[in-house]
Amino acid sequence: MNRLGFGRLHTTGLTSMTGKALEMAQSLTPKVQGNFTIALCGDRGTGKTQIATYLAAQIPVSCNSIGWESIAHARVPRYYCAHDLMQAIRGEFSGIREQCLAATQILSEAKLCALLVIDEFSELTGSDYNKRTLTNLIDARYRDMRPTIIITNTNPEAVGGEVGRSIYDRCCESGGVVDCSWSSYRTKPN
């Protein structure tokens, strides 16, 4: 899973998940096989990325050939920080052929993967290009019935304004806005 963008912290944490994050991940597991767009929202440290990693780990991955993780049509989950994804996609405007090709490949991977996780959505600047591109990407996945998870550090009431009306509407219809409002796993009780 590390080769698919999921961080080592979260992939090694799969065996030690506990509490509300584990309960939420288990309750969302049946949705992984279907068409959904889910927004995981809540304060930092509540395990939203861990939940998404858990859900991605439920997807069977066939890795029997070299380079399988870079094949755009491979049926594997993908993880991207929103900013990194947009930086990579913006390479399509480069005058350098290799950067243009890489941008096209990354966008294709994001459109066609078995599960797309876009993290740190709330850290993305709100340029019109970013919003249109992500709306287009998520809409393409929605039309093709491919599951998508958006992770944001806002409260449920602010999600619609942050992700935009089109994406929010797809979340409400097909997966939901999941409030991860429990205590942070990063802070230790006194």
Please, are residues 153 and 49 in contact by the beta-carbon 8 Å criterion?
A: no
Average pLDDT over residues 24-28: 93
39-179 maps to CATH 3.40.50.300: yes
Any residues with CB less than 8 A from the CB of 133 and at least 6 apart, and which? 86, 89
Q: For the whole model, what pTM was predicted?
A: 0.88
Identify any residues that bridge with 176 across adjacent strands, giving them in sequence order.
38
What is the reported pLDDT for 157?
Answer: 92
What does the domain layout of the chain look like in residue ranges?
A: 39-179
- Of 87, 153, 156, 84, the closest CA to residue 122 belongs to 153
What is the reported pLDDT for 63?
Answer: 62
